[in-house]
Amino acid sequence: MKDKVVIITGGTSGIGKAMAYEFGAKGSKVLITGRNVVELEKTVSELKAQNITAHGFKADVSIEEDNRLMAEEAIKVFGRIDVLINNAGISMRALFDDVDLKVVKQVMDINFYGVLYATKYCIHEIKRNKGSVVGISSIAGFRGLPGRTGYSASKFALNGFLEVLRTEHLKTGVHVLTACPGFTASNIRKRSLTKDGSAQGESPRNEDEMMSAEECARHIYNATVKRKRTLILTTQGKLAVFFNKWLPKFADKMVYNVMAKEANAPIK
């Protein structure tokens, strides 16, 4: 990855920020995006302090034009695009019966359409360089999680899109990675939307027991270098995918029971 130009959407915190450090430490030139200018500038300064070549660009992935401008910025600043990591995402937590549908749409706009927009404006450059498109999906893209209607739906849609993209580019040299972290310590649960669209504020799970964002970033870096097709992380995540494929009825009960143990779970 030395001297490769890597775009990371949502790169100011969590897994995105950890990946900026991981790829940057290996010699990549990193462009990160975010909606908060203060956090964006702060993260870029921190990266540069570690001798990482970094550039920040204010963008909202759910806005198509922002993605076009993001791709143009990468070309203007670095002259090329080798890797696009579609990391920006948001979660939600509410039963489908109770959720305002605008919340589901907001999640889809960021988690699914944001990936489509970013990929659309980067793919020709990535194809020219025989680079990589990485989608940060989730175990929730293989196994629907109760209380996560919009999140699971967006990740299922993302997995389908990445599968299509991978197949269409089977003979072009473009690498497509579907990366599915299990529960990872990050701020995604704190920013998770409730049934009315307000932020949840506190994580309902014990973040200390989860895989760190830094460890997750190392796995994603290695999978990108090795041009892997799929990356499923954590033992719990691998078991969920396995049981859902081979013992789906059992998986329904298992997932229900696990999710019901969360603090203030919408299911009991």
CA–CA separation, 196 and 256 (whole Å):
23
Is 221 known to be catalytic? no
**Catalytic site residue from 117, 121, 151, 221:** 151
Structure tokens at 156: 């299922």
What is the Cα gyration radius of the chain?
Answer: 18
CA distance 45 to 52: 10
Cβ(149)–Cβ(96) below 8 Å: yes
Sequence-distant (≥ 6) Cβ neighbours of residue 114 within 8 angstroms: 9, 61, 62, 67, 86, 88, 89
124 vs 146: CA distance, rounded Å? 38
Residues 6+ apart with CB under 8 A from 50: 21, 24, 25
Joined tokens for residue 179: 């990366």
Directed axis angle between helix 114-128 and helix 149-168, to 10°? 20
**Among all residues, which ones are annotated catalytic?**
151
